[in-house]
Amino acid sequence: MSQAYRFWILVSAVAISGFSQGMLLPLISIIFEQQGMSSTLNGLHATALYIGIILVSPFLEKPLRLYGYKPMILTGGAIVVIALALFPFYQAVWFWFLLRLIIGIGDNALHFATQTWITSFSSESVRGRNIALYGLFFSLGFAIGPFMTKFLDIGPAFPFILSSLLCLVAWFLLLLLHNEKPEVTSSSGSVDKGFPRIKKLLTWSWVAFLPPFGYGFLESSLHGVYPIYALRIDLNVELIAILLASFSIGGILFQLPLGVISDKIGRRRVLTLISLLGGTIFFIGSFLEAQPHLLVGSIFLAGMMLGSTFSMGISYMTDLVPKNFLPLGNVVCGVAFSVGSLTGPILGGLFLAAFPNVSLLVLFAVLFLIIFVSIMLFKEREQEQMSAAA
């Protein structure tokens, strides 16, 4: 099977996975809101997906090395399909929380194996482009997912059934792939060495995990906390929806161009630039909230800069570590994103309580300016030294 054929099957499966995730967040929130559930409990319920991601992360690397990419992707996909299909059978808060947690486990297995496979077979000259396409397809699926909420008029079970069928189609496509296993070196036995191996990874590439953390923090707090702040400063619901969409559109449009540019001039340079510009744009935007058109424009520009930070972080990590550390590196990227997604709404809420007269955009600006400074201060190690130490 050609590399290109394998790549497009993988990113197609990721797009459908993104679609299911993008559907679940608003769909379940709307259903619970219609049933009179408190916003606090509704928000806590949404964390189940990320809890599932974090819980399963420490257990993914060893089975990937033992069984290969395809079995893990198929297992993760099957878990998602079954969990989605079970939603209509029993509607209880605890049961749906459990299903969301299970979907987090399945999605993490699927994404971990997929992104590790893509980073392993992508040469350095096209790595940024390939990971950008991976992120782009997930983002497109995630952006289309919320439109499934309009099918609630047909029946609350319909969106879940349709989504599970689409995921099943992607699952059958994955059967066409030929299995491979991660690269094995003389040091691959270090999989079982635990903390010392993680310490090595963090020594080499800790800075590469900050962009995925920042993106998770930004995405969850922008969608979960900024609407609360926006309503407090008398922005209307329609404008809030446009603001959130403008960030997503900016990220989607510039994901691939930034990935290609990073192949030309280097991941570090691009990450430094977009972190600085993204943070600066958010800071400027905090002064434009009384001018809706300028505010929408600033959020769009911030999306252009920062919508690629997750995929760019993965690519940068791949540049920094030996190939036999890629599975562990991808696990840590997923954990960093999930920790950011969990802490974003919490710290965003605390920020609003502590500084009620300060724009939430200032918090985003500070976060990415800290990431900018961290990248500037980070000293890369030579690949030859890392390979010897591995």
Is 105:55 a contact under the CB 8 Å cutoff? yes
Cα 320 to Cα 326: distance, rounded to the nearest angstrom:
10
For 2-47, what is each residue's pLDDT tens digit? 778 889 999 988 888 888 887 887 788 778 777 887 766 776 787 8
Q: Which residues touch 199 (CB under 8 Å, ≥6 apart)?
A: none
Cα angle vertex 255, ends 29, 365, to 5°?
70
Q: What is the pLDDT along the chain (390 residues), one digit of tens a residue?
A: 577 888 999 998 888 888 888 788 778 877 877 788 776 677 678 788 888 988 998 888 889 989 999 999 999 999 999 999 999 998 888 999 999 999 999 998 998 899 889 988 888 788 888 888 988 888 888 778 877 777 878 888 888 998 899 899 989 989 988 999 887 654 444 444 567 788 888 888 999 999 999 999 998 888 777 887 888 888 887 888 788 888 888 998 998 999 999 999 999 999 999 999 999 999 999 999 989 999 999 999 999 999 999 989 999 998 998 888 888 898 899 889 989 988 888 888 888 888 888 999 999 999 999 999 999 999 876 555 555 555
pTM: 0.80
For 361-377, what is each residue's pLDDT tens digit? 999 999 999 999 999 99
**Which residue's entry shows tokens 């459990």?**
98
Instruction: Please report which residue ranges of the chain form alpha helices under DSSP H.
Output: 3-34, 39-46, 48-56, 61-67, 69-86, 93-121, 127-144, 158-174, 195-205, 210-224, 226-232, 237-265, 267-285, 292-306, 309-320, 326-354, 360-377, 383-389
Concatenated DSSP letters for 191-239? GGG-HHHHHHHHHHHGGGGHHHHHHHHHHHHHHHTHHHHHHHTT--HHH
Tell me, which fold does domain 1-182 have in CATH? Growth Hormone; Chain: A; (1.20.1250)
Domain boundaries, the chain: 1-182, 192-390
Tell me, which fold does domain 192-390 have in CATH? Growth Hormone; Chain: A; (1.20.1250)
